[in-house]
């Protein structure tokens, strides 16, 4: 390649968008992908359905990025959720809005999203080379020279856009390469850690509830002696602890607290729509209805079957006791348990199991107006490799596409100036 061309490293959401935009702006673009085909992580996102973005007003988006949301302010306004949906509709992927404002393809097919992006870069005349591993970003006297491949080849470029992703789901190609590049060329790295990741708990009883999905519950996160955050929605019990949307959102803060050595606790309110008094009254009605039954047979209308033995054990009320013999104090303790089921969090699962990686290239060293490096002329960063991360609900993909859009256009302007 001749200098003044652009090399994009990584064909994920940010890389595909950056490559196409740069090419449509008149630059000659080479897109390098280490896997055998583009968009591997997109294809498995959202359980194979691909949560593209969120339908929330873009002015409210920033609060859903606990990791440097302010950095994204202008980026998200330039290429917002409306423009993103229009972009995919243009390439044949109509979208729909589901619970929580989550936006999915009408087809529920993540592969359709990948095909649309591939069509986009094909129309833009982007040259794509797969099975190409970039070993190093080449820099000379503060200016980009190109990249070195693992096979020893050196490719020249007037600009390089690094879109290598984080370190989650390494099977898709996100193995932290961008972090290594950053440190080697002098960028400061915020230590990567798992975000949007299941949590491992101490309590052995979770195995009894393994596979149970709960809806319309509230999970609150406690550390430092007080309640820090809470989320309402859906969660899942696993053999090692808990997962599901509200747990994944809380995991970012749980992980931070664990790193600091805090004792971290989750409290699950199984009946958040009821006050303590209302739930107590509900229990009294159930206990009156089943007054001559044993306690173990009196909770069928209140709880899922797999959770009943767990609650009975934790309540310390004998399972064989006849309901009308349960004391007022025992009933009150049961209400407290139902609205504050405690779990002790010991760790997050590893980064490889996370949906998103928190941490990455320090945003203080990136110009948000162009996503160019403040240290090296002609170097751009976009996507998860940057220290930006959001909660669940389509925010992370929206950020990746928007960052790719801005970086691609800015890099094209740079090489043509």
How confident is the model at residue 3, as a pLDDT? 55
Q: What angle do CA 346, 348, 350 make, to 5 degrees?
A: 130
Ramachandran area for residue 156 (φ above 0: left; ψ -120 to 50: alpha; else beta):
beta
Contact between 114 and 38 under an 8 Å Cβ cutoff? The reply is yes
How confident is the model at residue 172, as a pLDDT? 87
How confident is the model at residue 1, as a pLDDT? 45
- The tens place of each residue's pLDDT in the chain, 417 residues long, gives 445 699 999 999 999 999 999 999 999 999 999 999 999 999 999 999 999 999 999 889 999 999 899 999 999 999 999 999 999 999 999 999 999 999 999 999 999 999 999 999 999 999 999 999 999 999 999 999 999 999 999 999 999 999 999 998 888 888 999 999 999 999 999 999 999 999 999 999 999 999 999 999 999 999 999 999 999 999 999 999 999 999 999 999 999 999 999 999 999 999 999 999 999 999 999 999 999 999 999 999 999 999 999 999 999 999 999 999 999 999 999 999 999 999 999 999 999 999 999 999 999 999 999 999 999 999 999 999 999 999 999 999 999 999 999 999 999 999 998
- The H or E element that residue 315 is part of is helix 308-315
How confident is the model at residue 78, as a pLDDT? 97
Please tell me the CATH code under which domain 198-348 is placed.
Answer: 1.10.8.50
What residues contact 182, with CB distance under 8 A and at least 6 apart?
162, 188, 189, 360, 361, 381, 385
Which is nearest to 61 in space by CA: 366, 354, 393, 387? 393
Contact between 33 and 11 under an 8 Å Cβ cutoff? The reply is yes
254-257: long-range contacts, CB 8 A cutoff, minimum separation 24: 254/199, 254/221, 254/223, 254/345, 254/348, 255/193, 255/194, 255/195, 255/197, 255/348, 255/358, 257/221, 257/223, 257/224, 257/228
Rounded to the nearest 10°, the torsion over CA 290, 292, 294, 299 is 0
Which is nearest to 136 in space by CA: 160, 171, 165? 160
Please tell me the CATH code under which domain 6-193+358-416 is placed.
Answer: 3.50.50.60
| Residue 288 vs residues 32, 296, 298: alpha-carbon distances, Å | 69, 15, 10
Contact between 414 and 25 under an 8 Å Cβ cutoff? The reply is no
- Helix (H/G/I), strand (E/B), else coil: 131: coil
Q: Where in the chain is the domain with CATH 3.50.50.60?
A: 6-193+358-416
Q: What are phi and psi of 203, to 5 degrees?
A: -60, 125
Distance between CA atoms of residues 341 and 234, nearest Å: 15
Which is nearest to 174 in space by CA: 367, 372, 15? 15
Structure tokens at 23: 């090419």
Helices (H), 25-105: 40-48, 73-78, 81-90
Q: What pTM value is reported for the model?
A: 0.92
Burial of 415 (0-12, 13-18, 19+ CB in 10 A): buried
Distance between CA atoms of residues 144 and 299, nearest Å: 67
Distance between CA atoms of residues 299 and 290, nearest Å: 9
């Amino acid at each position: 390649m001749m200098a003044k061309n652009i090399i994009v490293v990584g064909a994920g959401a940010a890389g595909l968008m950056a490559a196409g935009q740069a090419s449509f702006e008149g630059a000659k673009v080479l897109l390098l992908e280490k896997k055998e085909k583009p968009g591997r992580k997109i294809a498995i996102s959202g359980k194979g359905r691909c949560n593209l973005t969120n339908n929330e007003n873009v002015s409210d988006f920033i609060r859903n990025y606990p990791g440097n949301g302010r950095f994204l302010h202008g980026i998200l306004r330039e290429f917002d959720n409306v423009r993103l949906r229009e972009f995919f509709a243009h390439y044949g992927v109509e979208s729909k809005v589901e619970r929580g404002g989550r936006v999915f393809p009408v087809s529920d097919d993540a592969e359709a999203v990948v095909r649309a992006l591939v069509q986009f870069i094909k129309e833009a005349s982007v040259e794509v080379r797969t099975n190409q591993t970039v070993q190093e970003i080449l820099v000379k006297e503060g200016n980009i020279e190109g990249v070195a491949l693992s096979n020893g080849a050196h490719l020249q470029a007037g600009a390089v856009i690094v879109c290598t992703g984080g370190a989650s789901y390494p099977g898709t190609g996100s193995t932290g390469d961008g972090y290594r590049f950053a440190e080697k060329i002098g960028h400061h790295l915020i230590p990567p850690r798992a975000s949007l990741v299941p949590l491992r708990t101490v309590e052995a009883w979770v195995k009894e509830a393994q596979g149970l999905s709960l809806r319309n519950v509230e999970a609150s996160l406690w550390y430092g002696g007080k309640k820090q955050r809470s989320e309402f929605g859906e969660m899942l019990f696993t053999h090692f602890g808990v997962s599901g949307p509200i747990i994944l959102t809380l995991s970012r803060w749980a992980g931070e607290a664990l790193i600091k050595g805090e004792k971290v606790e989750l409290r699950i309110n199984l009946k958040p729509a009821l006050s303590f008094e209302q739930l107590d009254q509900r229990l009294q009605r159930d206990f009156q209805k089943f007054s001559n039954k044993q306690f173990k047979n009196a909770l069928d209308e209140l709880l899922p079957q797999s959770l009943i033995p767990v609650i009975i054990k934790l309540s310390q009320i004998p399972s064989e006791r006849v309901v009308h013999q349960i004391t007022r104090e025992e009933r009150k303790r049961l209400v407290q348990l139902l609205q504050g089921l405690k779990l002790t969090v010991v760790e997050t699962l590893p980064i490889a199991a996370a949906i998103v990686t928190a941490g990455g290239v320090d945003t203080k060293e990136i110009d948000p107006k162009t996503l160019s490096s403040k240290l090296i002329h002609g170097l751009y960063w976009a996507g998860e490799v940057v220290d930006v991360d959001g909660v669940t609900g389509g925010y992370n993909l929206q950020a990746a596409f928007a960052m790719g859009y801005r970086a691609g256009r800015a890099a094209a302007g740079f090489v043509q100036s």
